[in-house]
């Protein structure tokens, strides 16, 4: 395999190796969506790298970080942050994400499964409060997560 081969968008294998699992997944998904020979060639190169590129699953039961995240989301300040973000026109995840990063630091930011877990916990919180999903929105740049569900009163 030639690391210097340049794929569509200027992507190289060495560039892909330096990306996170989420970033590789995003590139793979976009390449597949092109429905072109160039896009398929890039997607296949990502698959052949042997590095994880699928969207990560939430943390498994019994994981210490999951227990810490559940405890944090159960606190009144997490509920307040989620509802405040929603009232500000943002996904509830915007408030929860900042709180998770402040409290859990690198353990949250560097774990590929932490964001999907936080999104799942936030969804459980919001549905428990009587909100219903109303689409996805991008999160502010300060957030670890890139997008989240926007909620409205059910």
| Residue 33: predicted pLDDT | 87
Q: Which residues contact 93 (CB under 8 A, 6 or more apart)?
A: 82, 85, 118, 119, 122, 139, 143, 145, 147, 148, 149
DSSP three-state, residue 38: helix
Residue 59 contacts residue 65 (beta carbons within 8 Å): yes
Write out pLDDT tens, residues 115-140: 999 999 999 999 999 999 999 999 99
Answer whether residue 2 shows pLDDT above 70: no
Write out pLDDT tens, residues 105-117: 999 988 888 999 9
| Residue 146: predicted pLDDT | 84
Which range, of 3-7, 10-14, 120-124, averages the lowest pLDDT? Answer: 3-7
Total-model pTM: 0.69
Write out pLDDT tens, residues 43-98: 999 999 888 777 778 889 999 999 999 999 999 999 999 999 999 999 999 999 99
When pLDDT is averaged across residues 20-34 and rounded to a whole number, the result is: 86
């Amino acid at each position: 395999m030639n690391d210097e081969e340049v794929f569509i968008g200027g992507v190289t294998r060495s560039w892909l190796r330096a990306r996170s699992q989420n970033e590789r997944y995003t590139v793979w998904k976009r390449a597949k969506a092109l429905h072109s020979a160039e896009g398929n060639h890039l997607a296949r190169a990502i698959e052949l790298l042997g590095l994880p590129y699928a969207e990560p699953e939430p943390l498994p039961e019994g994981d210490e970080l999951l227990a810490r995240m559940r405890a944090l989301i159960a606190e009144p300040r997490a509920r307040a942050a989620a509802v405040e973000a929603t009232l500000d026109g943002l996904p509830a995840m915007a408030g929860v994400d900042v709180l998770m990063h402040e409290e859990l630091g690198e353990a949250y930011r560097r774990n590929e499964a932490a964001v999907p877990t936080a999104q799942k916990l936030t969804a459980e919180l919001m549905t428990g409060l009587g909100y219903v999903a109303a689409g996805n929105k991008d999160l502010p740049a300060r957030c670890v997560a890139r997008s989240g569900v926007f909620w409205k009163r059910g």
